[in-house]
């Protein structure tokens, strides 16, 4: 059987656009004599539509899109993903389904059994789990259709509870009773740099254990925070990856199950390179899918804004990026110079606005109210917020979307000013720890200096008071990042983290900062997710709590 894998980039709720893409692929697969073409999970709606699924109109639109697509499936079959109404009088309103289309109509439907409801996943909010299993018979083959998590019947994230099965049912165990010839897995599996190998291993083990080939079809493209990386694979019954599709790009491939041919794998890319590609795609899709073209941000001469602006230029083009340099009396000459060199290296439009006169005006006006008080974080915040006003003014006046440059380390400990440097439509580095930001800067400079060396090597500083350094109030980033990773990604307790070789009081101080700053993150822009635990809706902490 000739099976086409279609790894596409969908837009949530864009039924027309998504359907057109799908139909085009069906037609092209047909002209390649394919028997079957496979699309990914919820391909009709995009993943994940969240509470749009509660609107009946939305579901009915998905239904008509399916009927429309079915009409193209003559002389070929397709598997597409969409929500559908649960007709039973009991249970959730919907199923998350795989539609098998052929002969111009829906031949069969398989619903998703295992509904991930953890981290960024929220499927039991909307979907009823499947309880009936069967295979599709088509052109003499028996096909077992599964949807993403259905093959993941093991615990997917770090946990301290020593549990290894998150679900009570194993769809593969049920489906294997029908002796299928191969497995189709339609997926929506987002990128996370620290879980990549794990995903492939799950698939390889399933193929091996059940001695069955697997077509794993992922999607690519960013949906606000989530970045889907593609990398769809065909795995033979020995658990070997024979074909592998591109990462962070649309791609498609035809596999003849009777004549598999040579291995076709992607070149290995180092983690930092993948994070780079993920973030570029994250920015590009955020703008493209929102209908925006142009971005702005403040360049401070520091490394975070430097890396962010390079990623923005790579995602949107130099002609669409425009920056502000906003020195104050605390800015070092070097900072302005570094920012200017970077802007010139990138050939982007830059302008300089000195914030000092506005800051002075605020301080003058506030003087009578502040009588008898000493300067503190208030005055630092006024600077950051004044910059926020200037850069938002550019954003409003010229329609440039503001990119937030906060990194994950400072975001974690609340080292940033709400309504100031925490402003922005999307937080590009909000899931990237500071040490990884350094690695990204080296990666960016690998073929020649783009980011001035000085921005990389100078001690990080917010430059909000004389001679300020980040390390005045924070541990060295090398240590800070390790403490944070163990607390945030791995959910370790203070004692366990201290046992890795840190001072327990210091660990507790850092964790206290993380906990106390939930309120800032609550009001932050969506964060492009590259790890297994990003800030945002995948990490939901109570704001008002004692812990």
Q: Which residues ranging from 406 to 445 are in contact with a copy of itself (CB under 8 A)?
A: 418-419, 423, 425
**Among 193-201, 333-341, 352-360, 463-471, which window interacts with a copy of itself (CB under 8 A)?**
352-360
Among 72, 18, 20, 23, residue whose Cα is nearest residue 49: 18
SS3 486: helix
Retrieve residue 101's tokens: 């289309």
CA trace torsion 24, 30, 32, 33 (10° rounding): 170
SS3 180: coil
Whole-angstrom distance, CA of residue 511 vs CA of residue 38 = 46
Q: Which residues ranging from 501 to 540 are in contact with a copy of itself (CB under 8 A)?
A: 519, 522-526, 537, 539-540
Count of other CB atoms within 10 angstroms of residue 321 = 25
SS3 455: helix
Whole-angstrom distance, CA of residue 243 vs CA of residue 265 = 6
Out of 223, 409, 486, 532, the only residue in the binding site for a copy of itself (CB under 8 A) is 223
CB of residue 458 vs a copy of itself: minimum separation in angstroms?
28
CB of residue 285 vs a copy of itself: minimum separation in angstroms?
7
Name which of 256 and 365 has its Cβ closer to a copy of itself. Answer: 365
By the 8 A CB rule, do 306 and 299 touch?
yes
Spell out, one character per residue from 281 to 310, where the chain touches a copy of itself: x when CB under 8 A holds, - when not. Answer: ----xx--xx--------------------
First to last CA, the chain: 58
CB of residue 154 vs a copy of itself: minimum separation in angstroms?
10
**Among 27-35, 176-184, 194-202, 382-390, which window interacts with a copy of itself (CB under 8 A)?**
382-390
- Under the binding rule (CB under 8 A), the answer on residue 358 touching a copy of itself is yes
- Under the binding rule (CB under 8 A), the answer on residue 201 touching a copy of itself is no
CB of residue 96 vs a copy of itself: minimum separation in angstroms?
14
Burial class, 223, CB count within 10 angstroms (exposed 0-12 / middle 13-18 / buried 19+)? buried
Whole-angstrom distance, CA of residue 324 vs CA of residue 296 = 8
Residue with tokens 């596999």: 255
- Under the binding rule (CB under 8 A), the answer on residue 168 touching a copy of itself is yes
Whole-angstrom distance, CA of residue 498 vs CA of residue 68 = 59
By the 8 A CB rule, do 155 and 165 touch?
yes
- Under the binding rule (CB under 8 A), the answer on residue 340 touching a copy of itself is no
CB of residue 332 vs a copy of itself: minimum separation in angstroms?
21
CB of residue 464 vs a copy of itself: minimum separation in angstroms?
13
Whole-angstrom distance, CA of residue 279 vs CA of residue 276 = 5
Residues belonging to the active site: 41, 112, 148
CB of residue 37 vs a copy of itself: minimum separation in angstroms?
24
Going by their DSSP bridges, the two strands 426-427 and 401-404 should be labelled as: parallel
**Among 120-128, 338-346, 444-452, 500-508, which window interacts with a copy of itself (CB under 8 A)?**
120-128
Whole-angstrom distance, CA of residue 499 vs CA of residue 232 = 40
CB of residue 178 vs a copy of itself: minimum separation in angstroms?
23
Out of 382, 428, 474, 507, the only residue in the binding site for a copy of itself (CB under 8 A) is 382
Name which of 269 and 516 has its Cβ closer to a copy of itself. Answer: 516
Out of 132, 163, 333, 459, the only residue in the binding site for a copy of itself (CB under 8 A) is 163
Whole-angstrom distance, CA of residue 417 vs CA of residue 238 = 54
- Under the binding rule (CB under 8 A), the answer on residue 48 touching a copy of itself is yes
Name which of 269 and 541 has its Cβ closer to a copy of itself. Answer: 541
Name which of 258 and 543 has its Cβ closer to a copy of itself. Answer: 543
Out of 75, 91, 104, 261, the only residue in the binding site for a copy of itself (CB under 8 A) is 91
Count of other CB atoms within 10 angstroms of residue 15 = 19
Q: Which residues ranging from 6 to 25 are in contact with a copy of itself (CB under 8 A)?
A: 11-14, 17
- Under the binding rule (CB under 8 A), the answer on residue 51 touching a copy of itself is yes
Q: Tell how far CA 303 is from the center of its chain.
A: 22
Q: Which residues ranging from 52 to 81 are in contact with a copy of itself (CB under 8 A)?
A: 52, 54-58
SS3 166: coil
Out of 33, 160, 344, 449, the only residue in the binding site for a copy of itself (CB under 8 A) is 160
Give the H/E segment covering residue 143.
Answer: strand 141-147
Among 134, 138, 208, residue whose Cα is nearest residue 171: 134
CB of residue 515 vs a copy of itself: minimum separation in angstroms?
9
Going by their DSSP bridges, the two strands 426-427 and 321-325 should be labelled as: unpaired
Q: Name the phi and psi angles at 526, rounded to 5.
A: -60, 145
Q: Which residues ranging from 238 to 277 are in contact with a copy of itself (CB under 8 A)?
A: none
By the 8 A CB rule, do 207 and 214 touch?
yes
CB of residue 107 vs a copy of itself: minimum separation in angstroms?
25
Retrieve residue 439's tokens: 């690695």
Count of residues that interact with a copy of itself, criterion CB under 8 A: 93
**Among 162-170, 176-184, 247-255, 331-339, which window interacts with a copy of itself (CB under 8 A)?**
162-170
Give the H/E segment covering residue 314.
Answer: helix 303-316
By the 8 A CB rule, do 188 and 40 touch?
yes
Out of 122, 174, 240, 506, the only residue in the binding site for a copy of itself (CB under 8 A) is 122
Q: Which residues ranging from 447 to 506 are in contact with a copy of itself (CB under 8 A)?
A: 491, 493
**Among 48-56, 195-203, 446-454, 474-482, which window interacts with a copy of itself (CB under 8 A)?**
48-56
């Amino acid at each position: 059987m000739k099976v086409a894998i279609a790894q596409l980039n969908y837009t949530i709720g864009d039924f027309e656009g998504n359907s057109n893409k799908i139909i085009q692929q069906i037609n092209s697969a047909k002209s390649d004599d394919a028997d079957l073409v496979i699309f990914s999970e919820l391909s009709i709606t995009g993943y994940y539509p969240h509470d749009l699924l509660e609107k009946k109109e939305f579901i009915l639109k998905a239904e008509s899109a399916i009927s429309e697509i079915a009409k193209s499936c003559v002389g070929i079959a397709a598997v597409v993903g969409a929500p559908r109404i649960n007709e039973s009088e009991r249970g959730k309103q919907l199923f998350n389904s795989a539609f098998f289309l052929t002969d111009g109509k829906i031949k069969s439907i398989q619903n998703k059994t295992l509904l991930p409801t953890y981290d960024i996943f929220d499927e039991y909010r909307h979907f009823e789990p499947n309880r009936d299993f069967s295979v599709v018979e088509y052109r003499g083959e028996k096909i077992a259709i599964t949807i993403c998590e259905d093959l993941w019947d093991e615990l997917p994230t770090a946990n301290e509870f020593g549990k290894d099965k998150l679900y009570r049912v194993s769809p593969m165990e049920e489906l294997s009773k029908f002796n299928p010839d191969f497995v189709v897995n339609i997926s929506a599996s987002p990128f996370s740099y620290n879980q990549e190998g794990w995903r492939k291993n799950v698939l390889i083990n399933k193929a091996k254990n059940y001695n069955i080939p697997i077509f794993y079809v992922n999607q690519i493209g960013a949906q606000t925070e989530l970045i889907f990386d593609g990398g769809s694979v065909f795995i033979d019954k020995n658990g070997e990856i024979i074909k592998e599709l591109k990462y962070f790009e649309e791609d498609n491939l035809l596999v003849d199950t009777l004549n598999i041919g040579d291995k076709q794998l992607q070149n290995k890319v180092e983690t930092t390179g993948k994070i780079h590609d993920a973030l570029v795609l994250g920015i590009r899709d955020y703008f493209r899918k929102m209908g925006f073209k142009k971005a702005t941000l403040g360049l401070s001469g520091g490394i975070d804004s430097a890396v962010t602006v390079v990623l923005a230029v790579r995602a949107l083009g130099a002609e669409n990026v425009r920056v502000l340099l906003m020195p104050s009396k605390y800015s070092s000459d070097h900072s302005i110079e570094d920012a200017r060199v970077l802007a010139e290296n990138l050939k982007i439009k830059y302008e300089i606005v000195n914030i000092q006169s506005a800051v002075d005006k605020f301080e003058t006006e506030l003087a009578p109210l502040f009588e008898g008080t000493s300067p503190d974080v208030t005055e630092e915040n006024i600077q950051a917020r004044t910059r926020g006003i200037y850069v938002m003014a550019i954003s409003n006046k010229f329609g440039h979307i503001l990119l937030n440059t906060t990194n994950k380390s400072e975001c974690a400990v609340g080292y940033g000013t709400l309504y100031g440097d925490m402003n922005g439509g999307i937080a590009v580095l909000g899931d990237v720890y500071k040490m990884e930001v350094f690695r990204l800067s080296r990666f960016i400079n690998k073929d020649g200096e783009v980011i001035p060396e000085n921005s990389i090597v100078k001690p990080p500083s917010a430059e909000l008071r004389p001679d300020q350094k980040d390390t005045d109030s924070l541990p060295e980033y090398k240590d800070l990042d390790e403490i944070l990773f163990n607390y945030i990604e791995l959910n370790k307790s203070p004692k366990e983290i201290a046992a890795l070789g840190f001072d327990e009081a210091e660990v507790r101080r850092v964790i206290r900062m993380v906990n106390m700053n939930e309120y800032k993150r609550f009001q932050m822009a969506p964060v492009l997710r590259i790890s297994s635990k990003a800030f945002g809706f995948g990490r939901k902490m109570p704001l008002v709590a004692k812990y």
